[in-house]
Structure 1
Amino acid sequence: MRLKRLLLAGAASALLMAEAAHSGLVQTAAAGAAPVITANTTIAFLDDIHGSQAMAWVRAQNLHTTSTLEKDPRYAGFYKTVLSGLQAPDRLAMPSLMGGAVWNFWQDAAHPHGIWREASQASYLKKTPDWTVRLDVDALAKQDGINWVFKGANCLAPADEHCLVALSNGGEDAETLREFNTKTGQFVPGGFVFSRSKQTAAWVDANTILLARDWDGKGTTLTPSGYPYVVKTMVRGAATGQEAELYRGEPSDMAVMPMVLTDGDGHQLALIQRNVNFFETRYAVVEGGKSLRWLALPAKSEIQGMLKGRLIVSVEEDWHPAGQAAIPAGSLLSVDPVAAERDMQVIFTPGASQSIDQVGVTKNTVVVSLFDNVRGRAMRFTAPQAGQPWQATPLALPDMTSIHIVDTDHASDTAFLSVEGYLEPSQLWLLERKGQPRKVKSAPARFKTDNLVTEQFWATSTDGTRIPYFIVHRRDIKLNGANPTLLTAYGGFQVSYTPLYAPEIGQLWLERGGVYVVANIRGGGEFGPAWHEAGRKSGRQKVYDDFASVGRDLISRKITSPRYLGIRGRSNGGLLSGVQMTQHPDLWNAVIIGVPLLDMEHFETMSAGASWAAEYGSMSVPAEADFLRSISPVQNLKADISYPEPFIFTATSDDRVGPVHARRFAARLEAMGKPFFYYEDIEGGHSGTVNAPEVAHERALEAVYLSHRLMDKE
């Protein structure tokens, strides 16, 4: 899996499910001598993330936000409703296929940190599977006295007995890796343990691991983005400090990491993945455990897996291999790992309205989920006989939904797919060797949909480009411009924002008469690499113009008006919200800005910001610097402009974007004497809140804020 997928996982979700942590709400204790920021205050103290002055200011802001919004009589009901959905025992237990069994990570009221459990495939398909708990993270957190968040496991195929379990303290990206045996359900005594770091490991065999990490604890083997660029070979029982260096990238790289692929026929291939920047990658095959042979793949490509000893590769730019026909950007290929440029087959090239979303590899097939005019589709491609083309089979699945690949099994042709829509609860479909997929599990409805409908409209952006958006509303909606409307989008990193069943949106917004809108603006991947490329770097104003154009389209259709129109975004979407607030303050009456980038003049030196220069541009390039200055929300706040009162939320332990962006933005508003709500989860990472009670707490605060701004009479 490429680094960008790891970094962006969940970034566009409207609902962030709990990853793990303590039970109960984050305390909002009295702030004591919290600094009060005025026009003459130096705010550099906020850059000291865990500093006493900074945390006193944070606690004071949290106290103001919670004490104000929790007074609303609706808060308690909102909180209870969201928490009930997050902890519902009849949620779908999403499967992970390992070692011939089904594994699942599960959290509920009794297990806020979560349990990692196993069932046979036959048992899993029953209404109530017979689970065996293999790892109790709550018990581990109590035993170690650490707020462990389970971040998954990396296991040695095909048996999947030897695993490295990733544990994060409080949800940060940095992880501790500990060897775990899935058969015994125990951490291995004297086994591999790799201390806290941003790191990536890949199993070669039961006694050998390729590892990229911060090797000296001083950051000398980390890139400016904070990721490792040195890979070493770890051999069981070898003395510390005797690890053999396999590859050293350049300090200017974004990251370097190992990967090992195994297919259903037993072929294994060890690779080095060198991310030159966020979008350009070089791959090398490790030969004899020591030397490297670099593959002749285009810079913008991604290895998705291996089948029959051949690499499955998606290309994100037009490729013109020597002596071969040009291959369009967005295509999926089968490539020989020895003679990549000379021996390749096109599996699938999307049409003008399509783009590939996910790729899964089984023993004999490649499963693809894709979008067609932002509507979910899926196909299965069967490996051909010599000299024959790949055989494509469209999969019969519901329309107007998102279709995702949950997991595939390399040892068989089994795959699980999920299907959901704005009004359709999540379903799980099983795809086997023959025939079409069949629905095997469904989550119950969490809100009433009888009087709700989903439509897809198109707005015209400032340059004439048509921008699609989904809108969910009551069937009997009155086109009087007075419908409370929440508009959201992402618009970056080629991440697509597609239909998602979010119970808290249904319960706290749609059932109460609100309208929900998701805009598929440029910068995302809804229409392939070109859709993303159009909104990259200095072209990014198109992204912001697209979003504002959707807002104006909603107004022109008399669905809503600025008085009743609010927006929400997080991470890159939080930057989107911040830009919309500063560029179009009169277009919105509510602005939610979550775990955001907001200081675009300095983002490259903040947390992992250097890794995103390929997306946003760099202050070192004059033309790009001019553009970044023109859109940076922190620097473009003006004292003489009236802004909608925003709700800003972030997390202290976010080691990806970091809380300083949000702090600087809020502090600048405070210095100008302008109202805002600010909430910083003191223990959350970039995913924000890390346990169900705190997720419910933050969502209930948002719901009160939106109700006050967009639903209540002034």
Structure 2
Amino acid sequence: MPKLSHVCLAVGLALGCAPSLVAFAATPASKPAPAMSNDATPADPYLWLEGVEDPKALEWVRERNAKAEAEIAGTPEFQKLEADLRAILDSTDRIPGVTKIGDYYYNFWRDKTNPRGLWRRTTLDEYRKPAPKWETVIDLDALNAAEGRAENEKWVWHGAECLKPKYERCLIALSRGGADADVTREFDLETKTWVEDGFFRPEAKGGLQWVDRDTVYVYTDFGDGSLTSSGYPRVVKEWKRGTPMASAKVVYEGKPTDMYIAAYHDLTPGYERSFVSRTLAFYNDELYLRGKDGKLVKLDVPNTANKSVHNQWLTLELREAWKLKDREYAAGSLLVIDFDKFMAGNREFDVVFTPDEHTSLSAFTWTKQHLVITLLSDVKSKIRVLTPLGEGGWKQSLLDGVPAVGTTSVSAVDPDGNDLLWMTTTDYLTPTTLLLVDVGQTPEKLKSMPAFFDAEGLVTEQQFATSKDGTKVPYFIVRRKDLAFDSKAPTLLYGYGGFEVSLTPGYSATVGRAWLQQGGVYVLANIRGGGEYGPRWHQAALKANRHKAYEDFAAVAEDLFARKITSPKHLGAQGGSNGGLLMGNMIVQYPQLFGAVVCQVPLLDMKRYSKLLAGASWMAEYGDPDTKDWEFIQHFSPYHLLKDDAKYPPVLFTTSTRDDRVHPGHARKMMAKMEAMNADVRYYENIEGGHGGASNNQQAAHMAALAYTFLWQKLK
């Protein structure tokens, strides 16, 4: 069942979520973003760069793109790297991840021949083979050609929502040029054709969710007043086939100050229920059960808890301690209770996980008979299997086959039909492996990625830096075993530190080929603001405490110096989205620590961020700059912390014109301001690509090659 969780919303800020669950953007992508506002600061000479598609602004973009291309992309080294990265991204040896829909296993696939991608399917027996036979269901390149779509207007896949239990029809979400705003079309899965006069949602924020074959919930832009101040749906309606969307029946209306309103229907036989989700802000939402009479009943649980319902079970992930009657449940705990009993007044929750100083809940999934939870113990994975014992609690055991170091993730294959799990294992130097696990049985290895770079002689280690306030901050280092420890190694330090997102070890062919194989050292910092140690780790760097995330990152850099791994002139930093804000603060607050910085799709003007695109939805993370919160926000607003007499490290800013989540004006204005200071800066803006920066493998390879070539030029 779809779940509008804070995990999805948070990851969406940086990585994106399934469009059928959440879509991010404040205005339809076909229109320029509303750049000018009545309270705009007149002293800002670069405000005009917020006009996303303004011809003058795009001319400015193209001029700087050309300069960056001339400086970075004109070398044989760049061209070789770009070709290698493109070959990796297009490789048919990659593991095709699949989702079970009915009797088939579906995969979305992009390669050199299919740059926009194929939605295809196969059987499990066929999937087990080294080279499965696939049946194409939707060919996006053929669709774009048939509709005559221009290059920067081509469809980008945003996902499919298929109708249980027969799976004859699907709602397909497609994005124009990679923006968060998308359209939804109805598709016949049996005939593999678009349904004539079927359900269609025009380009906007939101989505459609099946209720039955002839009914959907729709939450989208219905016109004036139908969006929240964050630019997301404020109204959800029930829409019947054959009627205009405008005449659909209102199910729920949120307030303009809410963040996101949606509804969904659980179609699992025996557990058919409808829910309305009201997200007031990050980490603050309400869940309502919708009765057959249309009446809504709010679940009496904390707004800050992540809530989900699976069959007979209600689960709560607590972000704050909760005192209930004579019991107090710790923040970070996972609670489970029978849903119908809860709605009848029972409050006797089972506590299936309680965190400790080293261990936090990362994720959970249900199979037919088990609850499987993924834990992080000092940022290393452990998997527990929990089985309900009627009225007698839960049996617990560890899942076999989980490596001691690295990242393991699991997801249910068919939670209504069996106890099978997909399990992936990975670390920095070991290509990702996919296994099929029948709980209680020996895992079956299905597929492994090939080695895309030479890891011979490399080693991974975990260290802990001491931050300014004494907090121990974990980080991972990937280096050569025979490293000289002479402070001269070109080193790349990566971080994010926000929205309770955890960064865990994983095999990255791009990092391996572009950095490690060149002789560089790669470091990943698990700074506060993330979720590596649960809600407490995230909440330690919220709002007025944001500086602690930046102090953590700086502490890791200084620890690298103390260990003689590298030195400031050989240390680079990289981050995107909220990590781009992190990079902005490294540039302006810790310039002495870095020899180069790559700042990607960043937030930088924290005075205006809440007025640009989806920015208002992040005030629970950063604060409201139009209130007294500005007293602390101004201390981590890079655009306002720039000083004419300061010396800044070389910087590459990258963003996307089609990013309708984090406004490209942030990067544009920071670039223009630093350029006017004669700082060592360069800029590249992909004309399409959305918040991920690229909408196909060619663009992804080009953007990555620009970043790594720049870093290598400056740090070697």
Asked if the contact 2:485–2:563 (Cα under 8 Å) also holds between the matched residues in 1, the reply is yes
Secondary structure at 1:492 match in 2: coil
What is the CA distance between 1:337 and its match in structure 2? 3.1
Distance verdict in 2 for CA 1:157–1:334, change over 3 Å? farther
One of 274, 277, 286 as aligned partner of 2:278: 274
Please give the alpha-carbon distance, in whole angstroms, between the structure 1 residues aligned to 2:553 and 2:242: 56
Answer yes or no: is 1:302 the counterpart of 2:306.
Answer: yes
Please give the alpha-carbon distance, in whole angstroms, between the structure 1 residues aligned to 2:354 and 2:519: 42
What is the CA distance between 1:185 and its match in structure 2? 1.6
Asked if the contact 1:304–1:360 (Cα under 8 Å) also holds between the matched residues in 2, the reply is no
What is the CA distance between 1:487 and its match in structure 2? 0.2
| Match in the other structure for 2:364 | 359
1:345-424 to structure 2, matched below 5 A, reads 345-410=350-415, 411-424=417-430
Q: State the AA in 2 paired with 1:332.
A: L
Secondary structure at 1:467 match in 2: strand
Secondary structure at 1:641 match in 2: coil
Please give the alpha-carbon distance, in whole angstroms, between the structure 2 residues aligned to 1:302 and 1:130: 40
Please give the alpha-carbon distance, in whole angstroms, between the structure 1 residues aligned to 2:314 and 2:544: 34
What is the CA distance between 1:351 and its match in structure 2? 2.9
What is the CA distance between 1:160 and its match in structure 2? 2.8
Answer yes or no: is 1:254 the counterpart of 2:255.
Answer: no
Please give the alpha-carbon distance, in whole angstroms, between the structure 2 residues aligned to 1:318 and 1:46: 44
1:668-687 to structure 2, matched below 5 A, reads 668-687=673-692
| Match in the other structure for 1:125 | 128
Q: State the AA in 2 paired with 1:303.
A: K
Secondary structure at 2:185 match in 1: strand
Deviates more, 1:536-545 or 1:196-205: 196-205
Asked if the contact 2:211–2:264 (Cα under 8 Å) also holds between the matched residues in 1, the reply is no
1:469-618 to structure 2, matched below 5 A, reads 469-618=475-624
Please give the alpha-carbon distance, in whole angstroms, between the structure 1 residues aligned to 2:396 and 2:591: 52
Please give the alpha-carbon distance, in whole angstroms, between the structure 2 residues aligned to 1:159 and 1:362: 20
Deviations 1:294-333 (A, max 9, x none): 00111112234403x2223322221222x35222122222
| Match in the other structure for 2:75 | 72
Q: Structure 2-normalised TM-score?
A: 0.92
| Match in the other structure for 1:207 | 214
Please give the alpha-carbon distance, in whole angstroms, between the structure 2 residues aligned to 1:207 and 1:392: 44
Asked if the contact 2:184–2:207 (Cα under 8 Å) also holds between the matched residues in 1, the reply is no
Answer yes or no: is 1:632 the counterpart of 2:634.
Answer: no
Asked if the contact 1:261–1:305 (Cα under 8 Å) also holds between the matched residues in 2, the reply is no
| Match in the other structure for 2:36 | none
Secondary structure at 1:152 match in 2: strand
Answer yes or no: is 1:664 the counterpart of 2:669.
Answer: yes
Please give the alpha-carbon distance, in whole angstroms, between the structure 2 residues aligned to 1:431 and 1:41: 57
Q: State the AA in 2 paired with 1:588.
A: F
Deviates more, 1:548-557 or 1:684-693: 684-693
One of 173, 196, 203 as aligned partner of 2:203: 196
Q: State the AA in 2 paired with 1:250.
A: K
| Match in the other structure for 1:284 | 288
Deviates more, 1:278-287 or 1:397-406: 397-406
| Match in the other structure for 2:30 | none
Asked if the contact 1:356–1:370 (Cα under 8 Å) also holds between the matched residues in 2, the reply is yes
One of 463, 471, 487 as aligned partner of 1:465: 471
Asked if the contact 1:600–1:629 (Cα under 8 Å) also holds between the matched residues in 2, the reply is yes
Q: List gaps (5 residues or longer) in structure 2.
A: 17-42
Deviates more, 1:405-414 or 1:75-84: 405-414
Please give the alpha-carbon distance, in whole angstroms, between the structure 2 residues aligned to 1:652 and 1:171: 10
What is the CA distance between 1:145 and its match in structure 2? 2.8
What is the CA distance between 1:407 and its match in structure 2? 4.7
CA RMSD, 1 decimal:
1.9
Q: State the AA in 2 paired with 1:198.
A: K
One of 320, 326, 332 as aligned partner of 2:328: 326
Asked if the contact 2:7–2:501 (Cα under 8 Å) also holds between the matched residues in 1, the reply is no
What is the CA distance between 1:433 and its match in structure 2? 4.3
Please give the alpha-carbon distance, in whole angstroms, between the structure 2 residues aligned to 1:270 and 1:311: 14
What is the CA distance between 1:211 and its match in structure 2? 1.4
Deviations 1:100-154 (A, max 9, x none): 3211000111101100111111211121222111111111111223300001111
| Match in the other structure for 1:108 | 111
Number of positions where the alignment pairs a residue of Structure 1 with one of Structure 2: 681
Secondary structure at 2:613 match in 1: coil
Please give the alpha-carbon distance, in whole angstroms, between the structure 2 residues aligned to 1:291 and 1:626: 44
Asked if the contact 1:153–1:166 (Cα under 8 Å) also holds between the matched residues in 2, the reply is yes
| Match in the other structure for 1:244 | 249
Q: List gaps (5 residues or longer) in structure 1.
A: 15-39
Asked if the contact 1:210–1:258 (Cα under 8 Å) also holds between the matched residues in 2, the reply is yes
Please give the alpha-carbon distance, in whole angstroms, between the structure 2 residues aligned to 1:76 and 1:303: 48
Q: State the AA in 1 paired with 2:505.
A: P
Deviates more, 1:602-611 or 1:202-211: 202-211
Distance verdict in 2 for CA 1:204–1:691, change over 3 Å? same
| Match in the other structure for 1:158 | 165
What is the CA distance between 1:390 and its match in structure 2? 4.3
Deviations 1:389-435 (A, max 9, x none): 34444343112211223553122222212111111111111122432
Q: Structure 1-normalised TM-score?
A: 0.92
Secondary structure at 2:626 match in 1: coil
Secondary structure at 1:428 match in 2: strand
Deviates more, 1:47-56 or 1:427-436: 427-436
Q: State the AA in 2 paired with 1:421.
A: D
Please give the alpha-carbon distance, in whole angstroms, between the structure 1 residues aligned to 2:679 and 2:708: 22
Please give the alpha-carbon distance, in whole angstroms, between the structure 1 residues aligned to 2:220 and 2:486: 57
